[in-house]
Amino acid sequence: MPQLGWREDLGYGADGKDGTAFGFRRGETLCIARASWDGGDDADPTYVPDDRYELRIECMRGATD
């Protein structure tokens, strides 16, 4: 997305078994994309995780570095 003026803001990045998140900035706009899913159950090898996931993107203006 750099060609469109967006840059990744690593302060908003996270990754884990049940989801991930990324932050992007362009000017004074900050957008955070979060995806979450059922990461399973390490304590139960017979558990079948749900295959659905959720994606949420939120943006705000006036954000500063």
pTM of the prediction?
Answer: 0.77
The region of weakest confidence among 3-7, 8-12, 14-18, 54-58 is 3-7
Under 8 Å CB-to-CB from 25, ≥6 apart: which residues? 6, 7, 9, 31, 63, 65
Condensed to tens digits (0 to 9), the pLDDT of residues 11-35 reads 999 999 999 999 999 999 999 999 9
Which of the four pLDDT bands, split at 50, 70 and 90, describes residue 4? confident
